[in-house]
A and B are shown apart, each in its own frame.
Chain A
Amino acid sequence: AQSVTQLDSQVPVFEEAPVELRCNYSSSVSVYLFWYVQYPNQGLQLLLKYLSGSTLVESINGFEAEFNKSQTSFHLRKPSVHISDTAEYFCAVSSISSGSARQLTFGSGTQLTVLP
């Protein structure tokens, strides 16, 4: 079984400031890691994922996340945020097991609010 902890439920930050959204996970097996974003009244959209290889992964809109196996973390960062980044962000994990349904276990989410 896996669990995901997002340490901050709300993160307010001023426009153009850097931000870090924290995510820690617990699992007895190897996992894949994901960040999803949810804008108001919309479904979840995949922001980025770590499957293998380089531990630093990037999205097309400037977010990046680094997989740290020893600290079981997958924190999301952006060096300069925009008003349009205001949304709820969810960290998720999935077992690597080939026999699994690839179901995702989500954290409780972090509401990022970018202030002008």
Chain B
Amino acid sequence: DTGVSQNPRHKITKRGQNVTFRCDPISEHNRLYWYRQTLGQGPEFLTYFQNEAQLEKSRLLSDRFSAERPKGSFSTLEIQRTEQGDSAMYLCASSYPGQNYGYTFGSGTRLTVV
């Protein structure tokens, strides 16, 4: 069990550029979550996958955001035409159905839009 892995750890990008983050969950976990954490706030739910199916999306996930989990294993979160307000820590978490709410979180990807 190597935990939930997120890459890159840090990303600095210019406003208007596209960025993509990757999350590798724990191998036997079929549930995967993306959260966003801005400075001084708690994490906010973005989206949820069960296997490859994206089952829930928050209203925070604007049209510029897209998430995929093509083979039910790793997931990517893409932000198009980044804005300064997108600067945040993006957290990934995974779990399996029998795991009673014990998410395992990754260390996150910190995005800075300049």
* Residues of chain A whose beta carbon lies under 8 Å from any beta carbon of chain B: 4, 9, 32, 34, 36, 41-46, 49, 51, 90, 92, 94, 101-109
Question: Once the chains are docked, how many angstroms separate the CA of A49 from the CA of B106?
Answer: 19
Q: Residues of A contacting B45 with CB < 8 Å? A: 103-105
- Residues from chain B with a CB closer than 8 A to the CB of A106 are 42-44
In the complex, the answer to whether B100 meets A41 with C-beta atoms within 8 Å is: no
Chain A nearest Cβ from B112, distance in angstroms: 15
Give bound CA distance, A106 to B36, whole Å: 11
How far, in angstroms, from A69 to B103 measured CA to CA in the complex? 24
Interface residues on B, range: 20 to 34
List 12 contacting pairs A-B, 8 Å CB cutoff, sorted by A: A43-B91, A43-B106, A46-B102, A49-B100, A51-B100, A90-B42, A90-B43, A102-B31, A102-B101, A103-B56, A104-B35, A104-B45
Task: Give chain A residues whose Cβ lies under 8 Å from the Cβ of B40.
Answer: 9, 108-109
Q: Which of B1-55 contact A (CB under 8 A)?
A: 4, 31, 33, 35, 40-45, 48, 55
A94 near B101 with CB under 8 A, answer: yes
Residue of A nearest to B102 (CB): A46
Which one of A41, A43, A49, A108 lies within 8 Å of B105 (CB-CB)?
A: A43
Residue of A nearest to B45 (CB): A103
> What A residues does B31 contact at CB under 8 A?
102
Q: How far is the CA of A24 from the CA of B66 in the complex (A)?
A: 33
B58 and chain A: residue at smallest CB distance: A103
